[in-house]
Structure 1
Amino acid sequence: MIRFHKEGYKIIVITFIITIVGVLLADNLIDITWLVKAIQVLLLAFLVIVLQFFRNPKRVAPLNDNVLVAPVDGKVVVIEEVEEPEYFKGKRLQVSIFMSPINVHVTRYAMSGVVKYSKYHPGKYLVAWHPKASTENERTTVVVNNTAFGDVLYRQIAGALAKRIVNYAKVGDTAVQGADAGFIKFGSRVDLFLPLGTKLNVSLNDKVKGGVQIIAEK
């Protein structure tokens, strides 16, 4: 059975109503058969796109403190040592995962632990792969701590199409590996900032599956 994310319920209902009304109106008000069919196909296609965008497949995380799972579905587009200026103010290993419009857009906790930091930043809507997207785009920054990895930061980043970031993490919350941590409507990317020396199980251009695929370990 297909599951849908709660962030999409309202949009799905509205789109469904518009589709049904549009299909019926086209059939009753337009006499050109090919035009009626074209309009109906386009409306139904749009409904399918909305449904697939908000799908929320059930995932079973390993629940292992010594591993990190991918926080989202997508493609690994950055692996590099960088200066993280907001929280760590020092060197970290950055792993960035880009979500295309056809990916599942649920953000999941990469590890279990306690949420130590959670902050929303308004900003621009540069394309997700822009070098300054991580620091200038609309984004949320969340830090989760556990005994194995210490502090791990993940950042949800809006892009040219993503106009709303939903973040459920609050300071003091208990994070459960693989659990729902938020949603990026019309997707973009998520950056992870890991301790230097973290052993990665992914490479550039790998496609990863959020909530289940192990991307790093102690």
Structure 2
Amino acid sequence: MVALLVSLGRPAVPELPAGGDPDQVDRVLRERTFVPVEGGEAFSTKVPNGGVAALKPGPGTVLDVGSQVQMIRSKGSPPVRMPDVRGKSADEARAALDAVGITVGETREEFDSGVDGGDVIGTDPSTGTEVGAGSSVTLIVSTAVRLPSMLGRTVGSARDELTGLGLVPQVRQVTDSDRSLVLTQSPGPGARVEAGTTVSLVAVP
């Protein structure tokens, strides 16, 4: 009896299986008569940490039977720097963070006299901090109330609007009338204050 050995030629490095499962990659390489060896690490946005992100030599390379092929392990997504979103609306800040692969996991409210209510004070981690792509961060939003001008308005109108904004009007006037006109206010128009702040009005007559 005579056995015939038929050569199939030199094998080519296979394509990576989806997901880069190390056991599966090892098996596929051995089926092609290659010897899998560890080849270090590299960042990858497609393969999770610990999976095989690349082969070296790359897929399609023709090698001798028994050649070594390096498996490059994934270190996960590369780090990104937290962008500066201070002063943006919450929706604009979310969009800016999403654009670099960062998600908002929580929103926290704080008072900041320099930022309008509903706009972003900052983030946690803070601007410039390196985080992994896909990380979840906290958005810090201002609760400040910007004071409108009450000057020249009737006491009744001013009192209603301030109360609606969550503020406490305190009126000094000669005559107890809702029709008296506001002469001064403190804090002044445009000031950013906390909810519950007392706003002093002086009205005449």
TM > 0.5 fold call: no
Larger Rg: 2
TM-score, normalised via structure 2 length: 0.25
Higher helix fraction (1 or 2): 1
TM-score, normalised via structure 1 length: 0.24
